[in-house]
């Protein structure tokens, strides 16, 4: 029996999980409490991750949760940002 390797070794982000299996990078959107809707933090963390690991990524597999890939934009966050004066 071989060693089972954790798929998501990079876990210092709040809204994404990521890991490598050789040249293949797995990036999972991880906001189960919000049905994986995309907010500013998800976008910022994806950008940071991709910039940090761009030289190591040969194939990128973007994944969601087993229940839902992504529900789209987080409209509640958009409304909150507009209400608080953020753009």
Three-state secondary structure readout of 18-86: EEEECCEEEEEECCHHHCCCECHHHHHHHHHHHHHHCCCCCEEEEECCCCCCCCCECHHHHHHHHHCCC
Taking Cα atoms as reference points, which of 39, 43, 4 lies closest to residue 27?
A: 43
Q: What confidence category does residue 4 fall into, taking pLDDT thresholds of 50, 70 and 90? A: very low
pLDDT tens by residue, 30-72: 999 999 999 999 999 999 999 999 999 999 999 999 999 999 8
Q: How many CB atoms lie within 10 A of CB 55?
A: 6
Q: Please, which residues have CB within 8 angstroms of residue 34's CB and are 6 or more apart in sequence?
A: 71, 74, 76
What pTM did the predictor assign? 0.81
Residue 71 CB coordination number (10 Å): 14
């Amino acid at each position: 029996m071989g060693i089972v390797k954790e798929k998501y070794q990079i876990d210092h982000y709040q809204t994404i999980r990521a890991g490598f299996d050789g040249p293949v990078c797995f990036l999972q959107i991880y906001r189960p409490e919000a049905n994986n809707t995309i907010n500013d933090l998800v976008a910022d963390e994806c950008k940071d991750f991709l910039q940090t690991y761009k030289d190591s990524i040969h194939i990128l597999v973007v994944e969601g949760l087993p229940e839902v890939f992504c529900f789209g934009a987080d409209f509640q966050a958009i409304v909150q940002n507009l209400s608080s004066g953020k753009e």
